[in-house]
Each structure stands twice: as C-alpha cells, then as structure tokens.
C-alpha cells in the first residue's frame, strides 16, 4: 500500500489512518489531551501499489493517510471514538542527543518536532539540563527513529547519540530507626520526620489513579482504611503526593497542637517535591515512601519562618529520614517469554545467566517440541539481548 506523506524540504513522511465505521468525510475530530478540536483535512488519499489518489473523504474500515499536517500530534490516534480511551505504551530506555557542531541545535529541535509528528510511538522531551531525549518502543524502533531523524528530518546533519539511559527508583525497606531533625539556616525552626515504606499495593494504586490528590478526602480515606489498613483520621491528613504532585510517595501530618503549622505547609510540600524527584542515593525519583511529619518547632515571627528557611530544611530532613530507613535502589526489569526447541535450551540459559536474567517458568507446549520459557531480565542488560540469543541458539529461539 502506498500512503501520502508529510513533506519538508524534499523529505517525506507517511501518516496512515484506519477509518472507523462512522465514515470520515468533510471534518476530522482530533482530541489532544481531553480537549476536542476540529481540523479540516487538507488531504485524504488512498493508494494501491505505488499509485496515490486524492480523496475528499474515506469510507468505513479503509486504510488511508493524512498529508501536510500543520498542527501538533499528542501521541494518540488521529481519529478516536468518543467512548475509546488511549492505552499507555511501554517506552524502551531512551537516548540523549547532542548536535555536532552545537550550531546545529536548532536543526535538532526542529527535527525532533517533525519526528514526533510523524510517529505517535516516539517520545521526544528535554531535560532541565537542556539535554534532548528520545524514547521509543524498542531497540529496532529507536534505531529507525534515529536514522530518520538524522537523514530525513535533519538533512544529514551529524548528531551524537549517548548509550541508552535506564531510570532507577529509590525506596526504603522499613521504618526509620529514629526520628530525625533538621534546623533551618537561621537556627530558629526545626522539623522532625520519619520515613516508612507504603503498604503493599498502595504505590500501584497511586500509579493507576485509584488514589490521588484530586480525590474526595472522604472517599480516599475510606479506600485507605478498608484496603490498606490506614486509620481514617490519619488518611485525612495527607498533605501531598510526589514527585510532580501525583507520584507514589506522600507526606502525612502526624503533629498535634503545633502552632503556625498551616503557614509552613506549602513550604514543606515544595521541599518534598524537590527531594522526591532527586533522592538521596542516586538523584533518582523516589517510590513507595511515606514521610511522617512528627513534630515542628517554629519561630513566633513569620519573617523568620519563610520559604527560604523551611524549603531547604524540609529537603534535608526528608533525605535524613530516607537514609535511616534502609534505603534501596529499585531496578526495572522486563518479563521475557522465549519459545525454542529442547536442543536450544542450553544456549538460552547461558545468555540469560550472562545478562543476570532469572528464569521462573519452563514449560513444554502440549503437542509440540517447543518449550516456553519465562524469565525476568534487567532492562539495563537487555540491549543486544535478541541478537545474542539468536547467535547462541543458531536462530532457533524466539523472544
């Protein structure tokens, strides 16, 4: 099938669409985020072989394409029925990109924008440090994206691609062995805090959106008390989630009878957001930690307990409480499923052992000579895994 393309300086990109049962005609509904906007299609075509034909509309279930898009794409299908929700997808370990020379930075920025428009499965972002990051659905997908970026969207300009970046998470194993304290720079304010791990399944519930900062406090406290054993009064004293106000960490107020506590709440939350985004161990995001504010001593004069005094104090006491609760790094892993005949099992186990993989299931498929192997593979060790597996099994293993 031939599809029309996005053209920019002689380069062409294709954007295929599958029409839903309600025919796509004069107008096309596009829903970036949750806001519905309408755009008139500038070109609707269908093709067979190498022929391209211009259309004014498309009938149901026909595969067609859009050309010359002038509006941004938000990583969702072009046409989405009203009762359909886009599902999240798994991103492979990203790469850092640098132009060579640095004067080609505008070309890199524009090329990443065009690449993001042409491929809904690629994610292009920029770090606070100014580094540009590209992430995709797998090694092969990233290789194709990088090739298209350099040859098509940057017209052959040279770029430096770093090795893949793997993000870890920081957590704790038990409650802090003691209550930690931090003083403000002016020595007039003190924060006392402890850290403990969240209950099993609570971090996943926060990630899934079942529990969050925008929930009704009564509903949230009911879920926490019934499913995770929280006290209802304590569940109503959650100050915030983090990082980014929605992450799987939280701050809980355990204080009693403290004056001026509400005046420093926003400052403590700001310090928590800062600390939970850059943990004490490796500057990675925290995960599954509950920080309990045990006590607060504040100066009576408001000018001596401002943001400049409380925010760095909150960050330091959060780090201290994390370090006293047996901190650990969480490593991301893939679930790998491999099918191969019996004579290839030795090569599979050899590659998995070399890559720190852990096999937890081996089962022969009924009526076939094939074995089905399931294993956990660390993401940081997964690069080049498929090629090594094929080489070790003479192409008999299929991950």
- Answer yes or no: do 38 and 16 share one domain: yes
Instruction: Give the residue-averaged pLDDT of 140-160.
Output: 88
Residues 229 and 292 in one domain: yes
Residue 88 lies in a domain: no
Same domain, 40 and 142: no
Q: What is the CATH number of the domain that holds 119?
A: 3.30.70.870
**21 vs 193 pLDDT, higher one:** 193
Token representation of residue 287 = 């995960």
Q: What pLDDT is attached to residue 60? A: 62
Q: What pLDDT shows up at residue 186?
A: 94
Cα 206 to Cα 196: distance, rounded to the nearest angstrom: 16
> Do 57 and 133 reside in the same domain of the chain?
no
Q: pLDDT tens digits, residue range 231-257? A: 988 889 999 999 999 999 999 999 988
CATH of the domain at 376: 3.30.70.240
Same domain? For 296 and 339 the reply is no
Residue 85: what pLDDT?
33
Q: Are residues 283 and 375 in the same domain?
A: no
The pTM of this model reads 0.72
Please confirm whether the linkage preceding 42 is cis (ω < 30° from 0).
Answer: no
Residues 219 and 345 in one domain: no
Domains identified in the chain, total number: 4
Mean pLDDT of 156-173: 89
Non-local CB neighbours of 41 within 8 Å, separated by 6+ positions: 24, 27, 28, 66
Helix (H) or strand (E) holding 251: strand 249-253
Q: For residue 345, what are the domain limits?
A: 333-392
55 in the same domain as 15: yes
User: Is 177 a residue whose pLDDT tops 70?
Assistant: yes
Domain identity same for 146 and 276: no
Nearest to 213 by CA among 247, 167, 166, 258: 247
The verdict on 155 and 211 lying in the same domain is no
Q: Residue 23 has what pLDDT?
A: 35
Per the domain annotation, does 300 fall within a domain? yes
Provide CB contacts within 8 A for 1, sequence distance 6+.
47, 48, 63
| Domain CATH code at residue 239 | 3.30.230.10
Question: What mean pLDDT do residues 9-35 have?
Answer: 40
Choose the final residue of a domain: 277, 294, 329.
Answer: 329
């Amino acid at each position: 099938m031939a599809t029309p393309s996005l053209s920019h300086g002689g380069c062409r990109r294709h954007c295929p669409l599958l029409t839903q049962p309600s025919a796509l005609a004069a107008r096309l509904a596009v829903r970036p985020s949750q806001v519905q906007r309408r755009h008139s299609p500038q070109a609707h075509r269908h093709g067979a072989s190498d022929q391209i034909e211009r259309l004014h509309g498309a009938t149901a279930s026909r595969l067609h394409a859009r050309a010359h898009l002038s509006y941004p794409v938000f990583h969702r299908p072009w046409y989405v029925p009203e009762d359909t929700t886009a599902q999240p997808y798994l991103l492979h370990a990203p790469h850092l990109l640098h132009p060579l020379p640095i004067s080609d930075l505008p070309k890199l920025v524009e090329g990443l924008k065009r690449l993001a428009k042409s491929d809904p499965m690629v994610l292009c972002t920029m770090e606070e440090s100014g580094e540009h990051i590209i992430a995709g659905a797998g090694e092969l997908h990233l290789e194709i994206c990088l090739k298209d970026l350099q040859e098509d969207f940057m017209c052959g300009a040279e770029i430096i691609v770093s090795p893949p970046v793997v993000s870890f998470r920081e957590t704790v194993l038990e409650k802090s062995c003691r209550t930690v304290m931090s003083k403000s720079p002016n020595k007039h304010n003190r924060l006392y805090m402890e850290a403990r791990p969240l209950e099993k399944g609570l971090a996943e519930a926060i990630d899934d959106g079942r529990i969050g900062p925008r929930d009704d406090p009564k509903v949230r406290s009911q879920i926490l008390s019934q499913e995770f054993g929280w006290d209802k009064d304590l569940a109503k004293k959650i100050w915030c989630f983090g990082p980014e106000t929605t992450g799987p960490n939280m701050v809980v107020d355990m204080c009693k009878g403290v004056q001026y506590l509400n005046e420093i709440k926003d400052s403590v939350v700001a310090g928590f957001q800062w600390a939970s985004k850059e943990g004490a161990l490796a500057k990675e995001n925290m995960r599954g930690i509950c920080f309990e504010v045990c006590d607060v001593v504040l100066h009576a004069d408001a000018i001596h307990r401002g943001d400049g005094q409380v925010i760095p104090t909150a960050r330091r006491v959060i780090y201290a409480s994390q370090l006293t609760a047996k901190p650990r790094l969480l490593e991301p892993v893939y679930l790998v499923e491999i099918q191969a005949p019996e004579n290839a099992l030795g090569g599979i186990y050899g590659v998995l052992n070399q890559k720190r993989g852990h096999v937890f299931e081996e089962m022969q498929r009924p009526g076939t000579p094939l074995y089905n192997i399931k294993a956990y593979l660390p993401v940081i060790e997964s690069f080049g895994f498929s090629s090594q597996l094929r080489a070790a099994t003479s192409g008999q293993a299929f991950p």
